[in-house]
Amino acid sequence: MRRSLTALACLAAGSAALATAVPAATARPADPVGPLRQLDVSAVGARAEQALRAAPGLVRLSSGEDLVATKAVGERSGASHVRMDRTYRGLPVLGGDLVAHLGADGAVDSVSQTLKAPVSISTTPGISAAKARTATRATPPAGVSLDKAAPTLAVDATDGTPRLVWDVRSSGVRASGTPSRLHTWVDATTGRVVGEADEIHEADGSGASLYSGTVTIQTTQSGSTFQLKDTTRGSSQVTDMANKTDSAFCTVAGIGCSAGTLFTDADNVWGNGTNANRQSAAVDAAYGQARTWDYFKNAHGRNGIWNTGKGSPSRVHYGSNYVNAFWDGKQMTYGDGDGTSFGPLVSLDVAGHEMSHGVTENSANLTYSKESGGLNESTSDIFGSMVEFSANNASDPGDYLIGEEFDLAKGLGFRRMDNPSSDGKSVNCWSSSVANLDVHYSSGVGNHFFYLLAEGSGAKTIGGVAHSSTTCNGSTVTGIGRDAAAKIWYRALTVYMTSSTNYSGARAATIKAAGDLYGASSTQAATVAAAWDAVSVK
């Protein structure tokens, strides 16, 4: 799933020494719960479903509903958290997923869920699949067209009220050059288009990189040559797309996609820091892969995107004059920019942003539309920035600007988290209209919240860049420090958020996560609530 770093319109629409002092917690010490560990979902899932059936007051299921465990993580205390998808009479229930929180004794303590009532609707459509296709004919953006595959039925519960919908799929290449695998949901009774989401989430030895200076990168020797493959981080590798794009079949089905050509070198000294050498952008991508892997491992105990130790490929030099980067569910892909306003989109924060889309997809799997889509984008901006801070690279100091390194014209990047509305399209404050915005603009609410939680309100210089943040309610917020803020967001994402979590749900999830980590009466938990108040989220 990816996110749009398509120039300013799409992204807005894209150091340790400077760490803020952390107020002392008023309860438990930081991180008493410890890192989460991956569990065997087949064993834990069966116990979780049995426990839920034994506690019907927590999850009310109709006779046609079933739960399928998809992921499970455990606490060192023996407690566990099991993610489960829901079906109704064999149909997937969009927004019906939940997280069952089990104590060490195996009993269900609580459940995180958006859908709280049993599903009880007719599964007989009032309109045909053909009419559903007709209803969406004018919906896809330029370059994206309806697939030949017949629409399928599903239950849409993303807004809390279940309804039968046709899932109409479209695919192609958007005008920006980004592939698209779009799902459009049509009410199976009225024929009205009620929602959509894209599977593609955009952005976004020794090596001389474009943006991070000369860096050490892990490579693999094969005979007399060296490969840009990091066996210490799940065999992550970087390949050259030779300015080609994915085939139509790849775009439609997501299979048979080009892997590109693995970068190799004779002397294990890569790139020269300029675009004239094709290895330079690859060095940035490899460096970004490694720093993102290390950030999630060291800060959150996560072993790669999937938390299984498996690495993720990166493809550079995608397309011609392609001002974008994206995550497609299995790999990162970076364009070279247009060479005038934007350089190659391989900066450290964008690498962190794209890989964080993978973390989101493999945890809460926030639907890429409405408020959950804004939260999806916020999550990637948050962790992309945290990767930049954690790398502590003098050539690219940490800040809260996204993509400033490859912004050749202004040096400001696509977005900024201290004042999202400065781009003219993102929003600083929540309102009922936020759900109607493009997810790249609605992400401003989450970005603003995180900045206030981490750094507080007012003016300051971070990473050599002037930052200044005001609040929507006129309050003054004192930040708790970015590391504590990120721990809270990560735990909320991986333990409490579900696919349809909105901003109000994110408030509840982060307050709960702060209580787990620092105590319900701690300064951290109180500041989480104050920061949400400051962006008008109740």
Residues 6+ apart with CB under 8 A from 247: 256, 257, 258
Catalytic pick from 354, 361, 371, 404? 354
Catalytic site residue 354? yes
Mapped onto helix, strand or coil, the DSSP state of residue 447 is helix
Q: Is residue 228 a contact partner of residue 217, using CB atoms and an 8 Å limit?
A: yes
Residues 6+ apart with CB under 8 A from 227: 219, 220, 221, 237, 262, 263, 264
Residues 6+ apart with CB under 8 A from 433: none
Unique residue bearing structure tokens 């319109």: 9
Angle at the Cα of 194 (from 420 to 13), degrees rounded to 5?
20
Angle at the Cα of 360 (from 358 to 366), degrees rounded to 5?
125
Q: Give the distance, in angstroms, between the CA of residue 199 and the centroid of all CA atoms in the same chain.
A: 12
Q: Which two tokens stand for residue 353?
A: 């942003």
How many helices and strands (H and E) does the chain possess? 11, 28
Q: Is residue 477 a contact partner of residue 456, using CB atoms and an 8 Å limit?
A: yes
**What is the residue-wise DSSP string for 205-252?**
-EEE-SSS-EEE---EEETTEEESEEGGGTTEEEEE-TT----HHHHH
Catalytic pick from 357, 440, 448, 467? 440
Catalytic site residue 101? no
Unique residue bearing structure tokens 């989109």: 345
Give Dmax (Cα) for the chain: 66
User: Which residues participate in catalysis according to the annotation?
Assistant: 354, 440
